[in-house]
C-alpha cells in the first residue's frame, strides 16, 4: 500500500517540508487563479465550456473547473474518471460526459451502464464504429461528436478527406446515432513556442470545425468543440463568428495545473505552475557535479519540454533532472560556476517542476494541497485505472 494513501490525513496542517517524498504537491491559490482566468475568458467570449478531467482526475478539481455547476459538461478519457465524477451528478452540478476516445466495442457495455446515471456522448471517426453501435443498439440512440483531425494525426478525420463526408452520411442514415457536434483538438499546439503559434492553431481548430459543420443542413443545430490547453490560453483572441446554428464550445484539461510544457509555449509564466514534485537528495557527486534525488521515471515521467532534461529545480533554476532511471533522478547543470556541493546536501528537500503534469500526476495516489504559506490544507485522492 502506498504510504501517502495510508497516512495522508495526518499531514494536514503541517508544513510541506514535512511531507514524505516523493510527493505531488498542488499550490491551491495558483490552481484557483488558473481556473478563474480561463473561466473569465470563456465568459467574455460568450461560449460554452467543457473541461477535460484527465490531468488531475479528482472530484475537487473537477468541481472547481465546473465552477460549482455553471458549466455542466466534461470530457473523460477513462471510465474510471466518469465513475469518479458521478457524485457531482448527485450534487446537481454535472449533466453529461463525453468519452474522449473514439468508441470501440469492448467499452460500449460499460458506457451504456453509466448512462443510467448521466448523459454519455461518444466520439466517432470511423464508419465501423457506427456499425458496432447498431449491432448492440438498445432502445435509445447515442449522441456523438465526430472527431476532426486538425494536424495532430492522433485521431479523427481531416476535413479534406472524402471519408469525412461518407462518415457524416453514414451517421445521418443510422438510427443508432445522432450527430451532436464536431470535435477539434490541436494536440500539436504543445510544440508551439509563441502566442502567435497558439493563435494560429486556434484558428485552425475553429475553421476546420466550421468547415465540417457545413456537411450538415444549415438549419441544423450543432456544437463545434475546440481547444487544447495552449489554444485555450489564447481563447480571448478568438475572432471568428459562427453561423447562428453553431454553438461554440471550448475544451481544455491541463490549464488548472500547467507545467514546463505549457511554460515552453510562451503563454504562461513559471509562477503559473500549480504543481511540483517534492523530493529529497539521496547523495551528491562533486567529481561529476551531480546530485541524486529520490524521484525517477515513475515519479516524473520521461516527458520533455523546451527546457533540457525532465524537470527543473523550483528554487535552483540552474539545475534540472538530466538523467532518469526507475526511482533515481540525477540533477545537473550546464552552468560551470554552479558547484553541486555548494548547492545540495544529503537530506535536502528539492521541489521539481515537471514537464507534463498529466503524466506525472498519474503516478501519485495522493495530492497534497498547500496554501500560500506552504501549509498542507487538504489532501485529494485521484481516480485511478481505466
| 109-119 pLDDT per residue, tens | 999 999 999 99
How far is it, in rounded angstroms, from Cα 229 to Cα 252? 5
pLDDT at res. 240: 82
| Residue 94 neighbours by CB under 8 Å, 6+ apart | 62, 66, 69, 72, 73, 74, 85, 88, 118
Classify burial at 141, counting beta carbons within 10 Å of its beta carbon; exposed 0-12, middle 13-18, buried 19 or more. middle
**How far apart are the two ends of the chain, measured CA to CA in Å?**
19
Each residue's pLDDT tens digit, 43-95: 999 999 999 999 999 999 999 999 999 999 999 999 999 999 999 999 999 99
Q: Which residues pair with 183 in a beta bridge?
A: 147, 225
Each residue's pLDDT tens digit, 338-373: 999 999 999 999 999 999 999 999 999 999 999 999
**Residue 34 is placed in which grid cell?**
488558473
Strand order across the beta sheet in which 177-184 lies: 48-51, 246-252, 222-226, 177-184, 142-148, 119-124, 96-102, 73-76
Strands 319-324 and 329-333: antiparallel
The pLDDT-based confidence of 241 (bands split at 50, 70, 90) is confident
Consecutive H or E run containing 224 = strand 222-226
Q: How far is the CA of 255 from the CAs of 201, 226, 232, 258, in angstroms? A: 17, 15, 8, 5
The pLDDT-based confidence of 232 (bands split at 50, 70, 90) is very high
pLDDT at res. 136: 86
Each residue's pLDDT tens digit, 196-219: 999 999 999 999 999 999 999 999
The pLDDT-based confidence of 139 (bands split at 50, 70, 90) is confident
Each residue's pLDDT tens digit, 245-286: 999 999 999 999 999 999 999 999 999 999 999 999 999 999
The pLDDT-based confidence of 137 (bands split at 50, 70, 90) is low
Q: Which runs of consecutive H residues, i.e. helices, occur in 174-301?
A: 195-213, 229-232, 260-264, 297-300
Determine contact, residues 296/324, Cβ cutoff 8 Å: yes
Coil, strand, or helix at residue 312?
A: strand
Amino acid at each position: 500500500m502506498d504510504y501517502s494513501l495510508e497516512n495522508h490525513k495526518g499531514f494536514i496542517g503541517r508544513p510541506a517540508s514535512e511531507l514524505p517524498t516523493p510527493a505531488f504537491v498542488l499550490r491551491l491559490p495558483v490552481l484557483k487563479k488558473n481556473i478563474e482566468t480561463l473561466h473569465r475568458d470563456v465568459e467574455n467570449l460568450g461560449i460554452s465550456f467543457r473541461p477535460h478531467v484527465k490531468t488531475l482526475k479528482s472530484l475537487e478539481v473537477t468541481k472547481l473547473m465546473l465552477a460549482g455547476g455553471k458549466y455542466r459538461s466534461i470530457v473523460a478519457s477513462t471510465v474510471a474518471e466518469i465513475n469518479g465524477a458521478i457524485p457531482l451528478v448527485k450534487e446537481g452540478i454535472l449533466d453529461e460526459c463525453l468519452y474522449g476516445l473514439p468508441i470501440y466495442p469492448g467499452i460500449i457495455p460499460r458506457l451504456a451502464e453509466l448512462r443510467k446515471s448521466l448523459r454519455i456522448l461518444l466520439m466517432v471517426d470511423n464508419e465501423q464504429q457506427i456499425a458496432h453501435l447498431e449491432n448492440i443498439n438498445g432502445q435509445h440512440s447515442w449522441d456523438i461528436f465526430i472527431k476532426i483531425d486538425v494536424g495532430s494525426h492522433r485521431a479523427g478525420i481531416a476535413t479534406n478527406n472524402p471519408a469525412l463526408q461518407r462518415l457524416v452520411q453514414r451517421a445521418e442514415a443510422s438510427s443508432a446515432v445522432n450527430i451532436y457536434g464536431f470535435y477539434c483538438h490541436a494536440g500539436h499546439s504543445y510544440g508551439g513556442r509563441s502566442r502567435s503559434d497558439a493563435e494560429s492553431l486556434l484558428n485552425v481548430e475553429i475553421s476546420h470545425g466550421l468547415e465540417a459543420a457545413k456537411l450538415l443542413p444549415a438549419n441544423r443545430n450543432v456544437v463545434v468543440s475546440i481547444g487544447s490547453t495552449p489554444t485555450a490560453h489564447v481563447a480571448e483572441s478568438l475572432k471568428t463568428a459562427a453561423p447562428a446554428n453553431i454553438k461554440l464550445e471550448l475544451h481544455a484539461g491541463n490549464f488548472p495545473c500547467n507545467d514546463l510544457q505549457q511554460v515552453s509555449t510562451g503563454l504562461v509564466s513559471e509562477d503559473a505552475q500549480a504543481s511540483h514534485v517534492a523530493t529529497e537528495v539521496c547523495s551528491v557527486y562533486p567529481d561529476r557535479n551531480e546530485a541524486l534525488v529520490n524521484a525517477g521515471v515513475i515519479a516524473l515521467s520521461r516527458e520533455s519540454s523546451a527546457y533540457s532534461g525532465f524537470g527543473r529545480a523550483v528554487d535552483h533554476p540552474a539545475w534540472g533532472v538530466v538523467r532518469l532511471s526507475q526511482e533515481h533522478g540525477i540533477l545537473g547543470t550546464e552552468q560551470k560556476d554552479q558547484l553541486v556541493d555548494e548547492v545540495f546536501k544529503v537530506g535536502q528537500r528539492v521541489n521539481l517542476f515537471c514537464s507534463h503534469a498529466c503524466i506525472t500526476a498519474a503516478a501519485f495516489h495522493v495530492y497534497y494541497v498547500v496554501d500560500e504559506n506552504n501549509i498542507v490544507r487538504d489532501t485529494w485522492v485521484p481516480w485511478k485505472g481505466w
